[in-house]
């Protein structure tokens, strides 16, 4: 069985989620498309080992992560049982429900029926009695917000989750949800949203400002804009690129000359800072302390080791921030 490094907590910063008692590592590991049936199990283990050995205590999943749906939870559940069982109380394990999982009217969106059924399924796949954070994965335009928040409250009150979270919400809906959860006395601590140099949505829809005002944490996903904020595409499109292997989330037509020009300029700025472009992009998300943690994905352990270096330098000068905005906006 795996034995964790004794020095695992020596260098990783841990940030408090808003006004709560929970802290997350500055860098967290997302188990999205690299932990499904198409991935090698031994490589998944090595990625998790590299993460935890270097202070990444938070492992982020969702019911639909795979492929196929549910596979990431099954694979991580096996790793937990076979390798990490001695460290359960050192880990923050999160999962979500809100996207399609099974046929019929009860396998999607935000009803109490779907959320609580999905949580039971996730716990079964993970082999756990509880998860640390249970998220509603996206806003539901049809289900009353009171019903969805009530389901999160029940998940916590039943002991199947320690904290509640929201993902892909905007500032206005976050405020309404917070009021409901506060009245229900639910420990709601975190928002998970897309955020990167190339995607400022949470700055424009009020989520970032509202979360800070309400004392709620933020964790950012897609901080590298599906790989655009790396040097990966500066020499052409690699044969193993997601553009080639899976065109759902990144398409070739995104790589215009204008976009490549932006990436080159950002890459040069990162080099001036002594960072890779990926490291600078992660550091930028963490720059002001409002975002508490940033989610990375990894297809090999070396990517984890490279990305965690971003936490070593999250300070930017005003000139650097202005230049990043001029290049990217």
- Report the pLDDT value the prediction gives residue 262, as an integer from 0 to 100: 97
| pLDDT at position 57 over 80 | yes
For helices 145-157 and 112-126, angle between their N-to-C axes, nearest 10 degrees: 30
| 246 has pLDDT over 70 | no
What would you report as the CA-atom Rg of the chain, rounded to the nearest whole angstrom?
A: 19
Q: What integer is the mean pLDDT of 82-99?
A: 98
- Residue 242, pLDDT score: 58
Residue 251: is its pLDDT beyond 80?
no
At 115-168, the pLDDT tens digits run 999 999 999 999 999 999 999 999 999 999 999 999 999 999 999 999 999 999
The single residue listed with the structure tokens 């804009």 is 225
Dihedral (Cα; 159, 131, 134, 222), 10-degree rounding: 170
- Model confidence pTM above 0.85: yes
Q: State the average pLDDT over residues 84-108.
A: 98
Residue 249 has pLDDT above 60, yes or no: no
DSSP 3-state percent helix, strand, coil across the chain (nearest 5): 45, 15, 40
CA torsion 65→70→72→77, rounded to 10°? Answer: 140
- Residue 115's contacts (CB-CB under 8 Å, 6 or more residues apart) are 97, 98, 136, 148, 151, 152, 155
Hey, where are the domains in the chain? 14-254+278-315
**Percentage of the chain lying above the pLDDT 90 cut:** 91
Selected from 3.90.550.10, 3.40.640.10, 3.20.20.100, 3.40.50.2300, the CATH number assigned to the domain covering 14-254+278-315 reads 3.20.20.100
- Judging by DSSP bridges, how do beta strands 27-30 and 92-97 pair with one another? unpaired
Residues linked to residue 16 through DSSP beta bridges, in sequence order:
23
Whether residue 284 contacts residue 197, with contact meaning beta carbons closer than 8 Å, is answered with yes
Can you give the pLDDT at residue 247?
54
Taking residues 48-65, report their average pLDDT. Answer: 98
Which has more pLDDT, 19 or 246?
A: 19
What is the average per-residue pLDDT within 288-314? 97
Quick check: 250 pLDDT over 80?
A: no
String of DSSP letters for 10-62: SS--EEE-TTSS-EEESEEEE-STTSSTTS-HHHHHHHHHHHHHTT--EEE--
Q: How far is CA 12 from CA 44, 54, 89, 111, in A?
A: 21, 7, 18, 38
pLDDT tens profile 163-186: 999 999 999 999 999 999 999 999
Identify the three-state secondary structure at position 98: coil
Q: Which two tokens stand for residue 81?
A: 């049982």
pLDDT given at position 235: 74
Rounded mean pLDDT, 202-228 = 97
- Cα–Cα dist 56/62, whole Å: 18
pLDDT of residue 248 exceeding 60: no
Mean pLDDT to the nearest integer, 81-92:
98
Looking at per-residue confidence, does 66 or 250 come out higher? 66
User: Does residue 21 have a pLDDT over 50?
Assistant: yes
Mean confidence (pLDDT) of the chain? 95
Q: Which of 84-88, 228-232, 237-241 has the lowest mean pLDDT?
A: 237-241
Residue 244 pLDDT level (bands cut at 50, 70, 90): very low
Number of other CB atoms surrounding residue 4 within 10 Å: 15
Instruction: Name the β-bridge partners of 60.
Output: 30, 94
Of the listed ranges 7-16, 236-245, 249-258, 318-327, the least confidently predicted one is 236-245
pLDDT at residue 17 above 60? yes
Tell me: pLDDT of 237 over 70. Answer: no
pLDDT at residue 232, rounded to an integer = 87
Q: What is the mean pLDDT of residues 252-259?
A: 83
Quote the percentage of the chain above a pLDDT of 70. 95
Place 236 in a pLDDT band, splitting at 50, 70 and 90: low
State the angle between helix axes of 207-214 and 171-183 in degrees (0 to 180), rounded to the nearest 10. Answer: 30
Residue at token pair 């979270």: 165
Q: What is the pLDDT of residue 33?
A: 85
pLDDT value at position 22?
98
């Amino acid at each position: 069985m795996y034995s964790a490094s004794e020095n695992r907590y020596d260098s990783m910063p841990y940030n408090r989620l808003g006004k709560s008692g929970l802290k997350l590592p500055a860098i967290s590991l997302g188990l999205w498309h690299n932990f499904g049936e198409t991935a090698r199990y031994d490589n998944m283990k090595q990625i998790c080992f590299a993460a935890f050995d270097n202070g990444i205590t938070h492992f982020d999943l969702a019911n639909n992560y795979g492929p196929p749906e549910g596979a990431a939870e099954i694979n991580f559940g096996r790793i937990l049982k076979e390798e990490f069982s001695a460290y359960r109380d050192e880990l923050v394990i999160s999962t979500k429900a809100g996207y399609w999982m099974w046929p019929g009217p009860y396998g999607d969106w935000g009803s109490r029926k779907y959320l609580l059924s999905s949580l039971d399924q996730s716990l079964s796949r993970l082999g756990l009695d509880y998860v640390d954070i249970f998220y509603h994965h996206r806003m539901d335009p049809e289900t009353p917000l009171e019903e969805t928040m009530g389901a999160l409250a029940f998940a916590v009150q039943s002991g199947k989750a320690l904290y509640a979270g929201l993902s892909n919400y905007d500032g206005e809906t976050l405020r309404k949800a917070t009021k409901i959860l506060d009245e229900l006395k639910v420990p709601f601590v975190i928002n998970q949203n897309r955020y990167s140099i190339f995607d400022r949505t949470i700055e424009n829809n009020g989520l970032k400002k509202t979360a800070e005002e309400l004392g709620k944490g933020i964790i950012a996903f897609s901080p590298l804009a599906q790989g655009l904020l790396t040097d990966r595409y500066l020499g052409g499109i690699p044969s193993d690129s997601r553009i080639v292997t899976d065109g759902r989330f990144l398409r070739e037509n995104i790589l215009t000359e204008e976009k490549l020009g932006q990436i080159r300029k950002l890459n040069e700025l990162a080099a001036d800072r002594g960072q890779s472009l990926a490291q600078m992009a992660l550091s930028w998300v963490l720059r002001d302390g409002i975002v508490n943690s940033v989610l990375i994905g990894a297809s090999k352990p070396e990517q984890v080791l490279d990305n965690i270096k971003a936490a070593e330098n999250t300070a930017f000068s005003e000139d650097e921030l202005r230049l990043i905005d001029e290049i990217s906006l």
